[in-house]
Amino acid sequence: MASSEDDRKLAHKWVMVGLDVHYERGNYQMAITCFDKAIEFYPDYQLALFAKGDALRRLGRHESAIECFDKALLKDESDHAVWICKAESLYSLGRFNEAINCFNKALEINPKVHFLWACKADALVFLGRYEEANTCYDKALAKDPNALSATQWSNKGEALRRIHRYKKAVICFNKALAIEPNNPNAWSNKGCVFGDQGQWSEALKCHEKSLELDPKDAQKWYNKSVALRELGRPMEALECLDRALVIKPEYPNALLNKGIVLENIQRYREAIMCYQKAIDLGEKDFAQKNLQRLKKMGY
């Protein structure tokens, strides 16, 4: 049965209470209660469906949020804000291709929303589509030189690093750190780009800074171990790898690197154990070759 005019007015009042009294104060669950009331009176109310979806998104309930966004889009698929929020929920769920499709839809509707190019670029980085990501970041910057957050400058730097444009990557990491000096991922990524160029002392300084800021990240301990290994400091490298493996016991790259370090200091049987564990966890290339070589040597 179609909602009456009175029902629609009541629905609108509930949405306004939800937005003005609760949503704006971060009381998202209370806001959802109001939006549900609105939907009871007017089930097809696009604003109520969208608002509920956005509140769910902010609570991290992305699957439920997407259901609301889809219902809202059935009522008005020209609302670019709904496409953006749906894209952000899909991104949070790691559904990057779907997120990109939604960002594209939003850009078709409103190409002037420059930050969407950066959001799309972030998703492209996760998919390993680095050239496309860099192009999208540049489109955002062409619209607004201040368009990128610290994280996005770091992501742009990582995209450039992956396509071996190291000098430009360092510039991006520096821009990220100018905005947010204590961004651990920017420090870590900057360390990796120095490592790619064989500048291991500089790399180590960056990895140490990243770990000061985020000591519970296994990958950052792994990154530091690689720099220490290349600097000929194997015992310190092993300490870092053990820290990484405490945080993330099933970490094939850390096990592979630990095997390499142990092999370098002639602790061959321990190295074999690490290579075998890495293989068991899916590292089928370098670990397999190293293991076979040691076995041919009689270990």
| 56 has a pLDDT exceeding 70 | yes
- DSSP 8-class letter at 24: G
Q: How many CB atoms lie within 10 A of CB 212?
A: 12
Taking only the tens place, the pLDDT of each residue in 235-255 is 999 999 999 999 999 999 999
How far apart are the C-alpha atoms of 18 and 31, rounded to whole Å? Answer: 4
Taking only the tens place, the pLDDT of each residue in 61-94 is 999 999 999 999 999 999 999 999 999 999 999 9
Task: Calculate mean pLDDT across residues 97-102.
Answer: 98
Task: State whether residue 220 is helix, strand or coil.
Answer: helix
CATH of domain 215-294: 1.25.40.10
Taking only the tens place, the pLDDT of each residue in 225-234 is 999 999 999 9
Torsional sign, CA 59, 125, 210, 263: positive
Q: Give Cα 165 distance to the centre of its chain.
A: 21
Exposed, middle or buried by CB within 10 Å (0-12, 13-18, 19+), for 101? Answer: middle
- Pair of tokens at residue 156: 């742009």
Identify which of 238, 191, 237 has the alpha carbon closest to the alpha carbon of residue 214: 191
Task: Calculate mean pLDDT across residues 97-116.
Answer: 95
Question: Which band of pLDDT confidence, cut at 50, 70 and 90, is reported for residue 105?
Answer: very high
Task: Calculate mean pLDDT across residues 217-223.
Answer: 98
At 264 the pLDDT is: 96
Give start-end residues of each CATH 1.25.40.10 domain in the chain: 1-76, 215-294
> What architecture is domain 1-76?
Alpha Horseshoe (1.25)
Q: Give Cα separations from 138 to 87, 102, 145, 147, 156 (angstroms).
A: 20, 20, 9, 10, 9
